[in-house]
Every structure is written in structure tokens, then in C-alpha cells.
Amino acid sequence: MRIAQVLLSAYLRRHPTHIRLSQFNFLARYVWLKDLLDEIRPELFPPEPEAELPQAVEPEAASEEVAKLLKAEIRGRRGTYRVEHWLGKRGMGQLFAGVQLGANRSIVIKEYLLPRRYFNQEEAQQRQKAFVNLAGVSLADGRVQDLRVISPLEAIADTTSFERCYLVTDERDGCPTLKTHLAQTGVMPPAQVRLVLAQVLQTLELLHQQKFRLPSGQDQVGLVHGNLSLESLLWVENQKEFFIYLCDLALWERIFDPPTTKALSRSIAQDLVAVGYIGFYLLIGKADSNFDPRQDESWPITTDLPLKEFILRLVGVAAPFESAEVARKALLKLPQPITVSQLALQAEPETSKPKPFSRLLLLLLCAVGLGVVGSIIWALLPKPQTSASTQKEPQLCCLKEVSAVPTGKFTYTAVQGGTWSYIQGQTNVRQPGQTLEARLRESQANFQLNYKPSPSIEAAIAKVQAREVDFAIIPILKPLPIDLAYREIAYDGLAVFVAFSYSRRNQGLPKTLEGEASLEELRQLYLGQISSWQELKGANLPVKLYAPTNPEAIQFFEQRVLKDVQMSRLTKSQVTQLPTLEMLQKVLQDFESPEGLGSVGFSPLSQIFGQCSIYPLAVQAKGKKAVQALVLDKDQPIDPSTDLCDRKGSYYPDVKAFQTGQYPLAYSLAVVYPRDNSLAPAGEKFAQLLRTSEGQRLLYETGLVPLRSSK
């Protein structure tokens, strides 16, 4: 019995928590495994330690500069204000508690500095004027409405020194920020996070839509906060209730950024992304850039799953919300919290009483060990939930061997202009003029497919969720929503290439770059930080940048290389987008032109494999060796001395490098379908067809990297 426990535990521990949970729950449905799983559950899913309450932190002392303002009186147009004591620093300024003389009204004063080391007198005066004209918002129709935004009572410019400005607000501005509240209380419960997000989104909904009048008298329809974080949200308590107030709008807060600070564009979409990160940080108990909501391992085990999916939409992992109003309504419609830890402890209804392991089974386990248990587990696991690159399934030979393929007409989608759009358009599969779909119809005549393209990966996923299509074929670039399953069918990856001219190979980039480039170097190139290849120890050639029109390739390049900088932010003078074939021709023409340009481009490997006018560079991830996507017959990587035109047919994609993820720009192509047993398994069976030996050969002929080596 102990051997079986060890083997099961070892198997389940190989997987990340979220995959481990789904497999544990599936196995728990089998009565003969339940006793074993109950025994090892505590070690697989230990209870989370209770969070230690943060230690009280002594408030820091006011600096000498801050102390100068204490007990000072500040005169404005609406009154005179006396500074009482220092509250601390927040954002771009220092906060002080004060009182309005004559009215004996408690107020908060925020002091902003315009130091001479950053601003000359003219610049300081310009900032002061802008501050007085912009710091404050009120509804244009004169209505008084609590929008839960800290609106300044008065903005004052110190015209005697030109180095200071003061913002006068009511006493709520002195309440703790969410960052401070979180430091005092620890991780926020998911139910409370829902309330916080609902209030913030409601305020943003009004802020984005209402017509406001600025202190200058100018009317403006809709305001973007532009500066949302845990520090610009205030926790305001009223008896037993709490309210979240927004403060420090970028409209006036960012006026005091030094001239060297890069100005950030502000938009409704960016406000919603910021709300998503705020929700994530509340759930993990801190604002920490080392934790990324796009990575499953960053989430706590007790995550509220519907809330998690909602936050992932806010941060842009899934289809984003159009507005704060749409997001708030979606939040209010979320189902009741279901936590991952609850899922781990759920047991499926039993059809019979648990029975202990038989002596025969125990002896068998002891005799054959891990191999038998492993095969039993693999046989039991639901195939759609397991990565196809690692799944040990029986390898069927031919398309006709796949059984139980549903009959009827089924609609599927893929990204218009993406990898599958290119693949399904190939016309020489197995024989001249034949497409992949035509070959599938020959073997499964009653399985009829209708292709309906989508504009993006997110749109394709949304169509599957809405049951508008039966399945989608897309790259797996981000975690999928929990109601979808997938099966990998092949690999693809981005190839980064430069011109390959055999006659001038000694002066070309493949040789001078030694056939490789790092991800960081590629990022610097495409962000315009490198203008000559000499800066990378390459040839003395000016840099010219190209990119494909393939939306999937662009999205992956933004994610993996540009670190989420959008290609659309780069000007057409920086990067030229062309269809892949045209781009290949231009790269070689640029190099062989009188100007001698050092052009670089990227494209899915499936679309450039076999083209010998360009050379695909080996790509190096940080701290690792550069990996080449193509290898020769004896698994030796190609190098700049390889004549790609002369060696056609003797080099192949390095399947192992793609399967293991060693090639930094590799990704998998998968069939995505609803996790719903009431539907016909069109997506699952389509994937099974393409995972046969014949299906893999067909995909290889279209340019994709097969799941297994076929050499």
C-alpha cells in the first residue's frame, strides 16, 4: 500500500498546482483509488499557513524640508489654511493635516515641489499655471454628487518661490490608502475584493462618462484617472461600512513629474487594466512586481475562480471589457465564489462503497513499480486536460483508425491571416492540388467542417465560449478560461531571420553575428535602441526592421520579445509590416542593394521553412545558450557556413527543442473546445485525427513542427 501511495504522490507532484488539482479530482472518482488519494491529500494540498499580522511600523520622522511647513499659514482665494502636522508622503507630494482659519474646518493640504534641479523658473511657472487650471473637477451642470473622488477644494501656487504648489482637500484625503490598509490587515478576502472592485468600477463609470467643468472654466466630457494604484485609492470607513475613494488623478498629479520622465498616454483601457492589477494585489496581500496575474503560480491556492477569470479579463489576458460599465455589470453577475482549495476537497458521488486494494493488485504494484502505475494513471486521465506534448497515448497510424468521429456539419474558427489560415490554404498535401481539409474528408466523409475566421485569438476564444463555433485552432500563448479544454496538435515558433547571400556570406549578418541573437538584443532592435549592427558586433550595416502581417506572430512577439510593448506603438518608419513572402524578398533585396541595408524580420517558422534566401538566427534566452530551430540529418544545428539552398531536404525543425521549450520562440498550436460532455466531441476528435501518424505527416508537409520526430 505504501508503495502505491509513494508512486501516486510522485506522479501528481510533477505537475503545477492547478493541473495537479484537476487530475487529483478526476482520479478521486474511481472508488478503488479513493482511499489512497485520501491518504496523500494533506501532503499534496497542505493547508495554507495563517498569514502573520504585519508588525506595527513606527512612522518615519518628517524631514527638515517638510518641517519648514509645519504651523505655516497658506493663503488662497477661498481662505487661509494653517498646517498642523505632517501625515506622510503619498504619490508626488507630502500630506499635512490642517485647519481652515475662520471656518475652523479640518482639511488636508498636499504640498508639491518643483525643485530647481529639475525646473527653471519659466518651467515652474508653467507647471504652476497648469496646476491651478486643472486641479479640481465638478459636474458641468452644477449638480453636487458624491462620485467617491477626492475633489480639491482649492489649488494654490506659491508665486513667491515658484517652487511649491498646494492642494487643499477635505479631511477624507487623510484616510489610509489601500496599500496602507493592506499592510495593516494582510490578504483581503475575495468577497471583500469584489466589493472594492465594484465601487472602483462604479466611480470610473461615472468619471469616464460625465461632463465635467475644470477650474479654468473649460468643460470636458469624461475624465480618465490615469494614475490608479493601491496608493491612489483611499479606505474611508463610516461606522461599520467602508467606501473606496479615488484620489491623485493624473490630470494634476503628473504635472510634477520631472521633464526627463517619459509621459504616459492615458486611456479608459489603461484604467481597467490598473483595476485588474489592484484586485490581484489585494488577493495576494501586496503590490509586488515579482507576482504576475498572467502566471498561474502567482495566484494563491484559495483563489475565487470566477473572480480570477474576471481579473484576467481586466488585465487583458482574456477578451478585455469595453468599458467600466460593462466590467461592473459583469462583476455583479459573477457566480458565487468557488475556490481552488474547495475543488481539491470535493469528492465525486460514489456509486459503491470504497473497497481496499486487493492483495493481487498490491503485489502487482510492488512487482512492476512505477511503470504499471504510471500507465494506469495515464489511461485514466481525461486526455483534453493534459498537454499533448507530454501525453503518452496510443499512437494510431491512420486517419481512418480514429473511431467515434461525430457525423454532421461542424463550424470551427482560427485567426484570419494567422498560422492555421496559412496551413488550411496549402494545396499540395500528399498530392498536387489537395488541401488538408480535403484529405480529412476522404477519410471521414461524414465529418463535415466549415471554416469561419476570427480577427484575433481573443475573438476566437470568445466564439468557442459563446458556442458560436464548435472549436478553434489557435496558438496557446496564455492560460485559457476554465470552461475550455485543449489538445495540442503541433508546434510552431517565430523564426528571426536576416539575408543569406552565399556569394557575399563573409560580409553578411549570419557570419558577423555568429548566427545568433539574444531576446534582449531583438528587443533593443525593435524598440529603436540600436541603429547599426556594429553595436551588436555585426557588420557595419544600418538596421532596417520588418514584421509580418500575421496577428498571432505579432501578439507572441509582443509578449515574448517586446515584453508587452505593443507593435502598434512603433511607427511605420521604425518597422515595416509585409506579408511573409514579400518580406523575405525585401530582406534579401535590401542587403544586395547599393545601400547595403542590414534588414531583419520575423515570421512563423511554418511559413519560412525551406526558404534559402534568408538565414534563421539561433535565439538566446537570458542565462542560456542560443538555440537554433533547424538541425541537419545528424541533429547538428545549421550554422552560417551551411549552404541552405544546396542542402535543401537535409535539414529539419529540431522537434526536441520545440517539444521541451528549449527554443525560446516556440509555442504550441492546439484545438480548443468547450469542456462540456453534453456537446458532440467535434474538437476533441479533430485533434485526435491530426495526432495520428498520418495526421502528423500531413501537418509536417504544411510546414508545422510535429509533436514527435518523423525523420
Dihedral (Cα; 84, 86, 89, 94), 10-degree rounding: 40
For residue 487, the tally of other CB atoms under 10 A from its CB is: 26
Task: Return mean pLDDT, the chain.
Answer: 82
Contact 197/228 with Cβ under 8 angstroms? no
> How many Å separate Cα 501 from the centre of its chain?
38
Question: What topology does CATH give the domain 64-332?
Answer: Transferase(Phosphotransferase); domain 1 (1.10.510)
DSSP 8-state secondary structure symbol assigned to residue 690: H
292-296, 462-466, 645-649, range with greatest mean pLDDT: 462-466
Q: How confident is the model over 159-181, as a mean pLDDT?
A: 92
Separation between Cα atoms, residue 210 and residue 197, nearest integer Å: 20
User: Per mean pLDDT, which range of 485-499, 643-657, 694-708 is the poorest?
Assistant: 643-657
Q: Examine the pLDDT at 60 and tell me if it is beyond 60.
A: no
53-57, 73-77, 570-574, 676-680, range with greatest mean pLDDT: 73-77
Q: How confident is the model over 130-148, as a mean pLDDT?
A: 84
Predicted local distance difference test score (pLDDT) of residue 568: 79
Q: Examine the pLDDT at 37 and tell me if it is beyond 90.
A: no
Distances (CA, A) of 274 to 78, 166, 230, 271, 417: 35, 27, 10, 5, 31
Separation between Cα atoms, residue 447 and residue 180, nearest integer Å: 60
> How many Å separate Cα 626 from the centre of its chain?
25
Predicted local distance difference test score (pLDDT) of residue 116: 85
Separation between Cα atoms, residue 490 and residue 203, nearest integer Å: 46
Q: Examine the pLDDT at 362 and tell me if it is beyond 90.
A: no
pTM as predicted: 0.49
Predicted local distance difference test score (pLDDT) of residue 237: 87
Q: Examine the pLDDT at 349 and tell me if it is beyond 70.
A: no
Q: Examine the pLDDT at 195 and tell me if it is beyond 90.
A: yes
- pLDDT > 70: percent of the chain: 82
Q: Examine the pLDDT at 490 and tell me if it is beyond 50.
A: yes
Predicted local distance difference test score (pLDDT) of residue 616: 94
User: Per mean pLDDT, which range of 88-92, 312-316, 647-651 is the poorest?
Assistant: 647-651
Predicted local distance difference test score (pLDDT) of residue 348: 38
Q: Examine the pLDDT at 256 and tell me if it is beyond 80.
A: yes
User: Per mean pLDDT, which range of 356-370, 405-419, 514-528 is the poorest?
Assistant: 356-370
Confidence category of residue 30, pLDDT binned at 50, 70, 90: low
Predicted local distance difference test score (pLDDT) of residue 361: 40
- Nearest to 86, CA basis, from 106, 65, 66, 102: 66
pLDDT tens column, 557-602 = 999 999 878 887 776 678 999 999 999 999 989 888 888 889 999 9
Q: Examine the pLDDT at 373 and tell me if it is beyond 70.
A: no
Predicted local distance difference test score (pLDDT) of residue 646: 72
Place of cell 528549449: 662
Q: Cell triple for residue 567? A: 507593435
Q: How far does the chain reach from its first CA to its final CA, in angstroms? A: 43
Question: What topology does CATH give the domain 387-490+667-702?
Answer: D-Maltodextrin-Binding Protein; domain 2 (3.40.190)
Confidence category of residue 72, pLDDT binned at 50, 70, 90: confident
Confidence category of residue 118, pLDDT binned at 50, 70, 90: confident
Q: How confident is the model over 661-677, as a mean pLDDT?
A: 92
Q: Examine the pLDDT at 29 and tell me if it is beyond 60.
A: no
Q: Examine the pLDDT at 117 and tell me if it is beyond 60.
A: yes
Are 387-490+667-702 and 492-652 equal in CATH topology?
A: yes
Q: Examine the pLDDT at 448 and tell me if it is beyond 80.
A: yes
Q: Examine the pLDDT at 528 and tell me if it is beyond 60.
A: yes
Query: What contacts 110, CB < 8 A, 6 or more positions away?
Result: 90, 93, 94, 95, 96, 166, 167, 169, 173
Predicted local distance difference test score (pLDDT) of residue 502: 52
Question: What topology does CATH give the domain 492-652?
Answer: D-Maltodextrin-Binding Protein; domain 2 (3.40.190)
Q: Examine the pLDDT at 272 and tell me if it is beyond 70.
A: yes
Give the residue extent of every domain in the chain: 2-46+355-381, 64-332, 387-490+667-702, 492-652
Predicted local distance difference test score (pLDDT) of residue 119: 87
Q: How confident is the model over 613-622, as a mean pLDDT?
A: 93
Q: Examine the pLDDT at 430 and tell me if it is beyond 80.
A: no
